[in-house]
Amino acid sequence: MMIRRSTAGARWAHIGQSGDFVAVAPEDRGVYFYDMPCAETFAPSAVPLVPRQCARVALLASPRCFEGLAWHAACLPLAPGDWRHILDSAAPDYLLVESCVYDSRRAWPQLPHAVAGNAALLRDMAEHAAARGIPALFWHTLGPEMLPYFAGALSAFAIVACADERSFELLRRGGLAPRLLPQAFAPEQFHPVSGPRFEPPVARIVFDGIARLARFGEARDAVAPFVGTGLAVVDSGAFTPPYNFERSAAAPFAPDVLGTVSRTAVQELYRDSGAYLSVATAREGFAPAWEQRALEAAACRLPVLHVGPAAGAVAEVANVFADAREAAEYWRELRHRPLERARAGHLAWRAAHEGHTFARRMATIHEWLGLGGDPFPLPRVSIITPSMRPDNFSHVLEQYAAQTWGNRELIYVFNGPVDRMPNLERPDVRMIAVPPEHAAGMAMSAGVMEARGEFVFRLDDDDIYGEHYIADRMIHFREFAIDSLSNARAWMSFDGRVARVTRVDRIPQDDTVLALGSATYQLLGYTGASWGARRDFALRLGFLEAANAHADVAFLSRAMTLAPASAHLRVNPFNLCVRRGAPARHTWGAGRTELDTLLDFEEVPLAGVFL
H or E stretch at 554 = helix 551-562
Q: Which of 206-210, 249-253, 428-432, 598-602 has the lowest mean pLDDT?
A: 598-602
pLDDT of residue 238: 62
Among the listed ranges 115-119, 446-450, 506-510, which one has the minimum average pLDDT value? 506-510
Quote the pLDDT of residue 594. 67
Helix (H, G, I), strand (E, B) or coil at 10: helix
> Residue 449 phi/psi, 5° resolution?
-65, -35
- What's the pLDDT tens digit per position in 84-132? 999 999 999 999 999 998 899 989 878 888 888 887 889 999 999 999 9
3-state secondary structure (DSSP) of residue 258:
strand
| pLDDT given for residue 526 in this prediction | 64
What pLDDT score does 124 carry? 95
pLDDT class of 50 with cuts at 50, 70, 90: low
23-36: average pLDDT? 35
> Taking 80 as the threshold, does the pLDDT of residue 451 lie above it?
yes
501: exposed, middle or buried (C-beta count within 10 Å: 0-12, 13-18, 19+)?
buried
Query: Residue 435: is its pLDDT beyond 50?
Result: yes
Please state the rounded mean pLDDT for residues 319-341. 95
Closest CA to 207 of 276, 258, 301, 273: 276
Phi and psi at residue 284, to the nearest 5°: -75, 140
Q: What percent of the chain has pLDDT over 70?
A: 84
Residue 222: per-residue pLDDT:
96
User: How deeply is 330 buried, as exposed, middle or buried, from its count of CB atoms within 10 A (0-12, 13-18, 19+)?
Assistant: middle
The pLDDT score that the predictor gives to residue 48 is 64
**Listed range (83-87, 194-198, 441-445) with the worst mean pLDDT:** 194-198
Mean pLDDT of 444-471: 96
Instruction: Give backbone dihedrals phi and psi of 60, rounded to 5 degrees, phi first.
Output: -120, 100
Q: Cβ neighbours of residue 47 under 8 Å, at least 6 residues apart?
A: 7, 10, 11, 14, 15, 33, 480, 481, 567
- What confidence score (pLDDT) does residue 36 get? 32
How confident is the model at residue 599, as a pLDDT? 80
Is it the case that residue 487 has pLDDT exceeding 60?
A: yes
Q: Which of 23-37, 465-479, 575-589 has the least mean pLDDT?
A: 23-37
Average pLDDT of the chain to the nearest whole number: 85
Residue 13: pLDDT band with limits 50, 70, 90: very low
Does the structure show a pLDDT above 60 at 421?
yes
**491-493, strands of its sheet edge to edge:** 464-465, 576-579, 491-493, 498-501, 604-605
Q: How many CB atoms lie within 10 A of CB 99?
A: 26
Q: Average of pLDDT values for 183-195?
A: 91
Is the pTM above the cut of 0.85? yes
Burial of 265 per CB tally in 10 Å (0-12, 13-18, 19+): middle
522: pLDDT strictly greater than 70: no
| pLDDT per position as a tens digit, 361-413 | 999 999 999 998 788 889 999 999 999 999 999 999 999 999 999 999 999 99
**Rounded to whole angstroms, what are the CA distances from 351 to 131, 252, 301, 312?**
40, 35, 10, 12
E strand segments, 337-407:
381-387
Task: Give 159's strand partners.
Answer: 137
pLDDT reading at 133 higher than 50: yes
pLDDT (tens digit per residue) in 536-589: 999 999 888 766 666 777 788 888 888 888 889 999 999 999 987 655 555 555
> Quick one: angle between helices 551-562 and 440-450, nearest 10?
70
Q: pLDDT per residue over 399-411, tens digit each?
A: 999 999 999 999 9
Distances (CA, A) of 294 to 74, 134, 203, 278, 402: 28, 34, 18, 6, 31
**What is the rounded distance in angstroms from the CA atom of residue 192 to the CA atom of residue 273?**
11
Q: How far is CA 393 from the centre of its chain?
A: 33
Phi, psi of 233 (to 5 degrees): -105, 125
Residue 68 DSSP SS3: helix
Question: Among the ranges 30-44, 231-245, 339-353, which has the highest mean pLDDT value?
Answer: 339-353
Q: How confident is the model at residue 532 (pLDDT cuts 50, 70, 90)?
A: very high
Identify the three-state secondary structure at position 393. helix
Q: What confidence tier does 204 reach under pLDDT thresholds 50, 70, 90? A: very high
Q: Which domains does the chain have, with CATH numbers?
A: 1-32 (no CATH), 41-180 (3.40.50), 205-354 (3.40.50.2000), 381-609 (3.90.550.10)
Region 228-232: mean pLDDT is 96
Whether the CB-CB separation of 412 and 431 falls below 8 Å is answered with yes
Per-residue pLDDT at 114:
85
Tell me how far apart the alpha carbons of residues 301 and 273 are, in angstroms, rounded to a whole number. 10
Residues 6+ apart with CB under 8 A from 1: 13, 22, 23
Indicate the DSSP class of residue 207.
Answer: E
The distance in angstroms from the start CA to the end CA of the chain is: 43
More confident residue, 48 or 33: 48
pLDDT of 24 > 60? The answer is no
Q: In this predicted structure, what is the pLDDT of residue 2?
A: 32
- Alpha-carbon distance of 511 to 199, in angstroms, equals 14
Query: What does the pLDDT read at residue 32?
Result: 29
